[in-house]
Amino acid sequence: MVMVTYPRDLHYTREHEWARLEGDLIRVGITAYAVQQLGDVTLVDMPAPGEDVQAHERFGDIESVKTVSELFAPVSGEVVEVNAALESSPELVNEGPYEEGWLIKIRPSDRTELEGLMDAARYEEYLGTLDG
Amino acid sequence: MPVRYEGIKAEHEAVRTRAGLFDVSHMGEILVEGPNAVPEVDRLVTNDVSNLPVGRALYTVCCNDAGGILDDLIVYRLEKEKGLVGCNASNRDKIVTHFASHLSLGTPWNDVSDSWALLALQGPSAVRVLEALGAPEELLKLPSFHVTRASLAGVDLWVARTGYTGEDGFELFCASEDAVTLWRALLEKGEPCGLQPVGLGARDTLRLEARLMLYGNDITEETNPFEAGLGWVVKLDAGDFVGKDALEAIKAAGVERKLVGFEMVGRGIARHGYLIVVDGQRVGEVTSGSPGPTVGRNIGLGYVPKSSSKIGTRLGIEIRGKVVDAVVVTTPFYKR
């Protein structure tokens, strides 16, 4: 496997989502590893703004040509924005998973939940324990 | 065969517009020889191969006594007394056993799946790739569903103008030990034509757009050729074959369900095993479903009651608890 370095300013889940603190909000997306595993993303099913999500629980689904995967929330809170561009251009997730391919923004109910996530170094270590 | 090399969409696009190379050596091949080889194979398949001329190939299914589909096959008449049966890898043991129990002692057969490799060269530029390898004119002009001996890149082959993508193309059978040589030569000479390797993922989206059956999904032992839309490969008036009585009865009674093509109207992708709903009732199951990269819509196949099989019928597909709208459409979804 090609070694990829992961952005240092993000927090990571075991299910390969990332979370970035931006002021009062937390932006969420999936990692380069997840994108590599999925292949061409063709559809992203996400909650509507205003819905609540729970940390480590499913908040949506992401589909590639071949498979469906569940999306898990890194933190609990209210969804305040979803990336509307993904509706017509799901391939943005492949092209820039940390930029244009972000998924949702959450207003966290407990910001300290971020501390329970992995930092980049630990996430890279974790990836090393996964097969293929 | 990997699921993908560059990416499913890119590989799919390459086959539709240029050319793709598939290593489908996992497919099963059974050689049947002797003066009665072809007539005996004819008694195991629903299509009429008894008069298949030398150098021709025919698509067919092979049924059990109840008319259920054991496998879909291509039968090639390589020589007067030599037939080749190409079967699905997952059905190889079953088909070998079935053939072994029905062929007479005077008709030797040989499961050559392990010693033969199969490369599929598919796409509108497939001919140009063979030309670049120095193939003779008559090979380039080989008609659809014909098969012939050839030599390419120093490798002896059987070349058939067949495929599983809905595009023009060739399937190349060679000895396993020659497969790497042939693969490399094709990719090297084919590169200027845009040839690239293609994996299992795009093989599935290509065949689905062309409404080619995937055994285990669209057809199984629990399905019969009439409901699957394969009545055209059942020749009830051309001699006896295993399953004929059952298929006659099924045809006379009429089928209760049909395999239809549908496209999603609502936002969602149907997948194998999802339920099909009509008027609030679960009436059937999706057998294949995915985005169709060339047709640009999310498409699928599934069995529905005959009353819901007409083009334009609204269906619901149950996707993770939600019922999403779909509509029955004409197939193939894609035609070159």
Q: Where are the domains positioned within chain B?
A: 8-205, 256-336
Low-confidence ranges of chain B (pLDDT < 50): none
**Residue A16 corresponds to which amino acid?**
H
**Closest residue on chain A to B12 (Cα):** A65
Q: Considering only residues 190 to 209 of chain B, which have any Cβ-Cβ distance to chain A shorter than 8 Å? A: 201, 204-205
What strands lie across the sheet with B57-63, from one edge to the other?
B57-63, B69-79, B82-87, B28-33, B109-111
**Residue A17 corresponds to which amino acid?**
E
Two tokens, residue B172: 């190349």
- Domain A11-110+117-124 sits in CATH 2.40.50.100: yes
Q: Do A42 and B291 touch (CB under 8 A)?
A: yes
Contacts of B104 (CB under 8 A, 6+ apart): B36, B40
Residue B8: in which H helix or E strand, if any?
Answer: helix B8-17
Task: For chain B, report the end-to-end CA distance as a whole number of angstroms.
Answer: 26
Pairing between β-strand B19-23 and β-strand B195-197 as defined by DSSP bridges: parallel
pLDDT of residue A3: 63
- Touching check for B300 and chain A: CB below 8 Å? no
Q: Is the backbone peptide bond immediately before B143 cis, with ω within 30 degrees of 0?
A: no
Two tokens, residue B121: 């060269």
Helices (H), B114-230: 126-132, 137-140, 179-190, 200-209
Measure in Å the smallest separation between the Cα of A113 and chain B Cα atoms: 29
Q: Do A64 and B320 touch (CB under 8 A)?
A: no
Could you tell me if B264 and B316 are in contact, meaning their C-beta atoms sit under 8 angstroms apart? no
Q: Do A68 and B293 touch (CB under 8 A)?
A: no
ipTM attached to this prediction:
0.85
- Touching check for B5 and chain A: CB below 8 Å? no
**Closest residue on chain B to A45 (Cα):** B268
Could you tell me if B147 and B83 are in contact, meaning their C-beta atoms sit under 8 angstroms apart? no
Q: Do A43 and B268 touch (CB under 8 A)?
A: yes
Measure in Å the smallest separation between the Cα of A87 and chain B Cα atoms: 9
Helix (H, G, I), strand (E, B) or coil at B279: coil
Could you tell me if A86 and A93 are in contact, meaning their C-beta atoms sit under 8 angstroms apart? yes
Q: Do A40 and B269 touch (CB under 8 A)?
A: no
Q: Which CATH superfamily is domain B256-336 in?
A: Aminomethyltransferase beta-barrel domains (2.40.30.110)
**Closest residue on chain A to B203 (Cα):** A66
Q: Which residues of chain B lie closer than 8 angstroms to A43, CB-CB? A: 267-269, 291, 298
For residue A65, give the nearest of B201, B267, B320 by CB distance: B201
Q: Which residues of chain A lie closer than 8 angstroms to B291, CB-CB? A: 42-43, 65
Could you please report the per-residue DSSP string of A54-111? Answer: -BTSEEEEEEESS-EEEEEBSS-EEEEEE-THHHH-TTHHHH-TTTTT--EEEEES-G
Helix (H, G, I), strand (E, B) or coil at B40: helix
Q: Which residues of chain A lie closer than 8 angstroms to B201, CB-CB? A: 39, 65-66
pLDDT of residue A5: 83
Q: Which residues of chain A lie closer than 8 angstroms to B267, CB-CB? A: 43
Residue A27: in which H helix or E strand, if any?
Answer: strand A25-30
For the four alpha carbons of B294, B297, B299 and B304, in that order, the dihedral sign comes to: negative
**Closest residue on chain A to B267 (Cα):** A43
Contacts of A3 (CB under 8 A, 6+ apart): none
**CA dist list (Å): B8 to A66, A105, B94, B110, B270:** 8, 30, 31, 35, 17
Reported as a single tens digit per residue, the pLDDT across A51-103 is 999 999 999 999 999 999 999 999 999 999 999 999 999 999 999 999 999 99
Q: Considering only residues 129 to 188 of chain B, which have any Cβ-Cβ distance to chain A shorter than 8 Å? A: none
Measure in Å the smallest separation between the Cα of A14 and chain B Cα atoms: 23
Residue A2, pLDDT above cutoff 70 = no
Could you tell me if B218 and B301 are in contact, meaning their C-beta atoms sit under 8 angstroms apart? yes
Q: Is it true that B8-205 and B256-336 share their CATH fold?
A: no
Measure in Å the smallest separation between the Cα of A123 and chain B Cα atoms: 25
Q: At B70, phi and psi to the nearest 5?
A: -80, -35
Q: Do B269 and A63 touch (CB under 8 A)?
A: yes
Domain regions of chain A by residue span: 11-110+117-124
pLDDT band at A132 (very low <50, low <70, confident <90, very high): low
Q: Which CATH superfamily is domain B8-205 in?
A: Probable tRNA modification gtpase trme; domain 1 (3.30.1360.120)
